[in-house]
Structure 1
């Protein structure tokens, strides 16, 4: 940025009286008044004193006028030194004081412009830093925090001190110039830290990126792969064992042959179902938002209850409001409701009842519920039932892989809805789906 050069050279077209000449003239006037007084009133002491007093008074008034202008300039210079550049200087006189006033006022205008640019740049940088999701901290070698952005505010202890856990990394950066750590635990979050020394500033710049969700995803993916491998290993072990037994001679006995062939068929079917579930989960996990359209809820529920046969001695009831319409994907909603209904049948011992309900929930949402009179779910496990491969200890003997509710949750997500469960242990469970209500189409204007 270039600061405008301030010129103090007098303009050729402006007549001016030099300050020294002005003062000399003023002194001459006082001397002349005194000399005239002595000449005229030398024989009259009182008149002489009065004339001399007039001369002194004239000199005093001239000195006050000059002092007043100098004081105004000094006050203006003090205000500029304090950072105030708004009030323009009152410029008067063609002498050196006037030149100085004009120079100061020109400098004031230039400084005001320069400080305005600097302030705008500073505010822009502050907005950029505060907009970062990463935490940025500048720490002096002596310890105090010199700068922090908005994201770093929650990490600072007492608002001024960096977290204790990062101090060794900052110390190392100040000594060797650079330091990094992939995952530092601060409270209940995990941060990747990069620190770099700023030798000229005698400070360390530290950037902390929140990796908590990323690490959770990595852990969930590792857990998913482990669980999938375990679920595949069981039927594979059964198939391998049945083949070995058949090869050892069991194939020659009709009863044994049929038994192990049935086991082979069951394990192969289990692998097929697991593979289909994994493919379905992968498909919905990788998909974006589903195409939204109006879903006729009573029609969709009627289709679902005809597709799933309740077990013996378990009654199926339907309570759906008429003319109920939601926004979603009919195919995905059908799969979700079939999954919830099948899950309710599995967990409702006879005699029992499973009820499917559909109603408005306020003006903006439609809620669909599958209510059973089964064993219920402990409060601590309600959220976990939507995790991939999670199965309650009571249901481990039942068929399934613990993927159905995880798939249902993702399907509801892509429809822009919400899924959850409420349960009382020993009394039953309610699984619910919320979807946006379908807005009526505007009536065309004739």
Structure 2
């Protein structure tokens, strides 16, 4: 092995010091996650052992990778020296969790790509208070900058979508900085899925037990009757069995809708990235619902462009269309018409304004709205029925779970009251909008508008 020269020895000491510092930083991160329950004991030991082994190997072999003064005896085939700082930066950039290094005055000195995406940071990081307006987190960072230990901080945001985050803050000593000897390392852990899963389990049990109580009581009563004095009454038996079948179907629909709502809420904070053609999706929905249309002799007319690309999950958007069109069919009289229109790309105010006008006496309400973005464009899907209409006082509650409008019962196949709640949560996940307009005696118009891909948005802006 080549012995280091006098010129190389200071550089070797610096790199070995940097290697030890990087290994210590990695071990601190792993220990923080173990202390707060994010990693198991075995995983923590394996991770620390791996970091220690790699660091030791590099510590012992660092001298063979240095060659500051290239001479005629230098082997050009030898690998280039590895900068520990570059290696540490590469490790940090590879982490899927947001990590930031905060310096004096709360200024962001370093942020990995996950943190930039999570906080929406640009090329210039700036101050933490400008991108994270959470007083508890800012206070914890200030405490860490004074060299004091800090407990984890939890915070929640309700807009534009609900999210729950746990912030881990730890002080880091900067030996080479006498003016500001302390830095703060901030690690953000998105716990939205965990929180929602816990709440949904509780909600599911509460809602299911409440809504299933009535049909289960009916089934128990009919079964007791059939086992008693109606045992030999064939006419009563057939009537009771028909009612029992309807109640069983209602429970099945209720459980399916509750499960669907739970799945939607689980991913509501993560917007979709795929594209879906709304024009083709409407045709598929019409084919699926054709038997219901024929059963009530309802005419379905569709006005749409050849294609209407939108950003969205195809299965969830199909669920939106099926819910809204089924409601239009369910609450329209026999022999009436249902109209579907796709318009766009439109600005937000144009997308919210219905084209299927019901008249001056109509009431209108926005049930879900996207975050204000002046450059965004939307495709709007509007569905109009010819039902009884909905009173103004009932509009704000339409998207509540299990809410049913008085006088809008739909017979033995009554809905579960979850359809519009599912629509609202899907639209929220897609960062779109959901509006309703209704007039008594004329019907209702439900509108959903969804963002378009970037290429379509730019093309629409250029054509203006």
TM-score by length of 1: 0.48
Pick the structure with more helix per residue.
Answer: 1
Larger radius of gyration: 1
Q: Which has the higher contact order (CA 8 A, sep 6+)?
A: 2
TM-score by length of 2: 0.47
